[in-house]
Amino acid sequence: MTRYDAPTHWQSRYDHFIGGEYVKPHGGRYFENPTPVTGQPFCEVARGTAEDVERAIDAAHGAAGAWGRTPAADRALVLNRVADRMQEHLQALAIAETWENGKPIRETLAADIPLAIDHFRYFAGAIRAQEGSLAEIDDDTVAYHFHEPLGVVGQIIPWNFPLLMATWKLAPALAAGNAVVLKPAEQTPASIHYLLSLVADLLPPGVVNVVNGFGVEAGRPLASSPRVAKVAFTGETTTGRLIMQYASENIKPVTLELGGKSPNIFFDDVSAAPDDFRDKALEGFTMFALNQGEVCTCPSRALIQQGHYADFLAAAVERTREIRPGHPLDSATMVGAQASNDQLEKILSYLDIGRQEGARVLTGGARAQLGGELSGGYYVEPTIFEGSNSMRIFQEEIFGPVVSVTSFADLDDAVKIANDTLYGLGAGVWTRDINTAYRAGRAIQAGRVWTNCYHAYPAHAAFGGYKQSGIGRENHKMMLDHYQQTKNLLVSYAPKKLGFF
């Protein structure tokens, strides 16, 4: 067990990063940034407004042309160098991210930061390998298709994986040759600046610009600007609709990732033997507590087949009780702090409505009091509810370490319950039978169906939503298309006129 020290590399104040340098906010105002670990502020962050966003868009436009013309090999080299620099500072980045977000250090060390590093490398490779196309229309006519960058794009980043989600959006946009204006979440505005302190010298000025602030003051002017060619957003449905509304005013594309209420389905044959596979499935169940449940694909509905329902659920409750809460910087800690006080309060409000609706609490069900310096932090006990799919705790994203469990009779019943949701981002299927796995996986209306695994996020596996979970895909080379225009040159090699005129 290792207990890492609280990070000391923070500046006391962060301004906006615009045009390759730090500039003070136009309004001169800052807001405090608390760590969810203790609830205590550790830095101040610029409170951006429309003027700051305009300045950042100016800088991005100044840089976009040259960056877009930079050879793909050189752009890829920049991304690879960013990845190398992150690799050299992996532990410090992980500690920063844990302090910023409240998540356990073992997750940031093993998942958040390594995945972000790999993501930059993946898109460095993807852009090198990308080709346009040509079509021979007839003997004299050729249609050439070129990929061109969009220009300047706006990206609004969520707070649940501040660095990884920023990377998911930055890496493909930069690889494709765009300049970016990025607004971090106001709950987690600082870790991206620590990352910038490590990599800013690698980036041409103006290619990456970071404007901090509140959604209404800084996010809105970015999302509604006619001078950004595209907006990418991860968050919730109402803001997603608002962003589409602004985009419609400017006739601009958006990509949206808006969450889900992901089913995790355990067929009877999971319990056919007390072996490694069953043990893995129990871990898969317990994945609802990963990142304190603050994951858009949190497996927050567990559907367990009737034949092994009681036994599997009892084992799952036992596994959940073994989740170790504690200081997020302690390497033995499995569940850390929720990212903010309002998030904590929202989770508690759902624990309340779940009980009112008659769901049974099998374990957890309350705020966790960890004492000492953590008493001001935002901690929740991993909670298992047992109920029915019509309950609100089965239908709404709680975004906490809360899973709602129900049973199903057969494959059709499982698929029916799984699809009885407004969302369709992720799902899990656990079975030893490949036919069942295939049928279930194809029938579930979700963009990602983890089959005999859960919560893996490798680059090169497309991630995105069906239904109200959003538009577009991330994490895959197809994301390049979301950041590129198609230019068609339709060329005639015929010397003779058509004969119309």
- Catalytic residue list: 257, 296
Distant-in-sequence contacts of 433-436, Cβ < 8 A, 24+ apart: 433/267, 433/269, 436/267, 436/269, 436/411
Instruction: Tell me how far CA of residue 146 lies from CA of 149, 175, 264, 276, 488, in angstroms.
Output: 10, 15, 41, 49, 6
Q: Which residues bind other proteins (CB under 8 A)?
A: 31, 34, 47, 158-160, 185-187, 214-217, 219-220, 223, 234-242, 245, 257-260, 294, 296, 340-343, 345-346, 349-350, 352-353, 356-357, 390, 392, 395-399, 422-423, 468-469
Q: What is the smallest separation between the CB atom of 225 and other proteins, expressed in angstroms?
A: 14
C-beta of residue 120 within 8 angstroms of C-beta of residue 82 = yes
Work out whether strand 41-46 and strand 13-14 pair parallel, antiparallel, or are unpaired.
parallel
Q: How far apart are CA 420 and CA 416, in angstroms?
A: 6
CB nearer to other proteins: pick between 15 and 397 = 397
CB nearer to other proteins: pick between 104 and 158 = 158
- Name the phi and psi angles at 255, rounded to 5: -120, 140
Q: What is the smallest separation between the CB atom of 433 and other proteins, expressed in angstroms?
A: 32
For CA atoms 205, 206, 210, 214, give the dihedral sign: positive
Q: What is the smallest separation between the CB atom of 435 and other proteins, expressed in angstroms?
A: 33
CB nearer to other proteins: pick between 255 and 343 = 343
Instruction: Tell me how far CA of residue 133 lies from CA of 2, 122, 230, 487, 489, in angstroms.
Output: 53, 22, 24, 10, 11
C-beta of residue 103 within 8 angstroms of C-beta of residue 336 = yes
Q: How far apart are CA 366 and CA 272, in angstroms?
A: 34
CB nearer to other proteins: pick between 51 and 345 = 345
N-to-C CA span, the chain:
83
CB nearer to other proteins: pick between 97 and 257 = 257
User: What is the per-residue DSSP string for 418-438?
Assistant: HH-SSEESEEEEE-S-HHHHH
CB nearer to other proteins: pick between 23 and 422 = 422
